[in-house]
């Protein structure tokens, strides 16, 4: 079995964190993703930006079709999803807020 770049990024030992994602009106599922806090630098579309809000990057197939105000729970804190930015390589960056949109 070969290890892919995707496997490395979703490994909770090195990069990823485990969250519970619940699509608006749907069922909860446990996922591994990359979580960023305000003030961190993230590359979006080839441009480095300093985050003003929380953001998570999850596998695109797990979040496809989900709506605004789906939830992500990390360490017992609930975040609400906003704009989704698919990267074209199997991951989607999702803006998060502590308040509903």
Average pLDDT over residues 46-71: 94
Query: CATH number for the domain including 42?
Result: 2.40.10
Looking at the structure of the chain, the number of domains it has is 1
The dihedral formed by the CA atoms of 87, 91, 95 and 101, expressed in degrees to the nearest 10? 110
Question: Domain of 65?
Answer: 5-97
Top pLDDT among 6 and 48 is at: 48
Question: Which three-class secondary structure state does DSSP give residue 60?
Answer: helix
The dihedral formed by the CA atoms of 8, 9, 13 and 17, expressed in degrees to the nearest 10? -160
Top pLDDT among 3 and 11 is at: 11
Average pLDDT over residues 28-38: 96
Listed in sequence order, the DSSP H helices in the chain are 5-9, 60-63
Top pLDDT among 86 and 101 is at: 86
Residue 67, token pair as written in the block: 């709506």
Q: ∠ CA 38-78-62 to the nearest 5 degrees?
A: 90
């Amino acid at each position: 079995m070969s290890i892919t770049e995707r496997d490395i990024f979703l490994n909770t030992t090195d990069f990823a964190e485990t969250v519970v994602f619940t699509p608006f009106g749907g069922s909860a599922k446990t996922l591994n993703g990359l979580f960023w806090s305000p003030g961190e630098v993230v590359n979006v579309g080839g441009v480095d930006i300093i985050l003003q809000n929380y953001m998570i990057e999850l596998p695109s197939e797990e979040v496809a079709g989900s709506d605004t105000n789906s939830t992500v729970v990390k360490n017992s804190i609930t975040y609400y999803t906003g704009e989704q930015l698919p990267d074209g390589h199997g991951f989607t960056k999702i803006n998060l807020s502590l308040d509903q949109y």
